Chain A
Amino acid sequence: MFQETFAAELATRIGSFVEVVTDSDMIDGVLSNVTADLVLVVNVGSGYGSNTLYLSIDAINFVRFPSAVA
């Protein structure tokens, strides 16, 4: 049902709406790409500048997939 590693599980959910929480921030957006070390989130809530945010997997505290779009 679930993948063995955190990165592998996130990779199966590309295209999903996510809330990614780190020590200092919470990012809403669509999960765009996942590698072993990085997560790429397209922040659909921001109207200015780059909408794309790269996060180190190690910096993620948790990832929430809201029920309405989970």
Chain B
Amino acid sequence: MVNLTNRQLGLLRLSNLLTQNTLTDNNTTSNTNTNSGISENISIDLPGFDLDAGLNLDFGRNDGTGTDLPDTPGTIRDVLLTMVNERLQVTTTSGVITGTLISVQGNYIVIIEADGSQVLVPINEIDTFREL
């Protein structure tokens, strides 16, 4: 056994007291009396939360692959409103209409085809549409 000076012994006692206080605090803040302070420290391992934060989907949007996802659309009408004066292909149950979208009204759209024909399409009849 190493011989310690009185000063060293005093410091060692203080150190032991501090350690016991820490363990006691952990036990008093816990609802379980059977766990030691050490095991509780392990059970609330904060780095685990950091891992969850790493799963944020926003990080995947601009990953340099050039595949940016568009914002989530609200309604078909909202998306069509952003395409006014653009060339469009609209599919309905009975056929495809291709032309320039010139107006989006309350429940229908107006398309001008290449030959100048006007086509009125009720929005609720649209199956698919895409900008050309």
Residues of A near any B CB (own CB < 8 A): 1-6, 9-10, 21-24, 26, 57, 60-67, 70
Give the top 8 A-B pairs by smallest Cβ distance, nearest first. A67-B116, A6-B108, A62-B121, A61-B92, A4-B106, A65-B118, A67-B117, A61-B94
Contacts of B97 in A (CB 8 A): 62
**Is A6's CB under 8 angstroms from B92's CB?**
no
For residue B71, CB closer than 8 A to chain A, the reply is: no
With A5-B106, A9-B108 known as contacts, the answer to whether A67 contacts B115 (CB < 8 A) is yes
**Per-residue CB proximity of B103-126 to A under 8 Å, as 1/0?**
101111010010111111110010
A11-B115 Cα distance, complex, nearest whole Å:
24
Contact A6 B122 (CB under 8 A): yes
Known: A2-B103, A4-B106, A60-B125. A70 touches B120 (CB 8 A): no
User: Contact flags (1/0) for B78-107 with A, using CB distance below 8 Å?
Assistant: 000000000000001111010000010111
Looking at the assembled complex, report how far the CB atom of B98 sits from the nearest CB atom of chain A, in whole angstroms: 12
Q: What's the nearest-Cβ distance from chain B to residue A62, in Å?
A: 4
Q: How far is the CA of A28 from the CA of B92 in the complex (A)?
A: 18
CA distance A57 to B124 in the complex (A): 12
Could you list 13 examples of A-B contacts with CB < 8 Å? A2-B110, A5-B108, A6-B120, A21-B95, A61-B121, A62-B95, A62-B125, A64-B118, A65-B118, A65-B119, A66-B117, A67-B115, A70-B118
Which chain B residue shows the least CB distance to A9?
Answer: B120
Which residues does chain B contribute within 8 Å of A70, judged by CB atoms? 116-118
Q: Could you say which residues of chain B place their CB within 8 Å of the CB of A4? A: 105-106
| In contact, B116 and A1 (Cβ under 8 angstroms) | no
Chain A residue nearest in CB terms to B95? A21
Q: Nearest Cβ in chain B — how far from A30, in angstroms?
A: 16
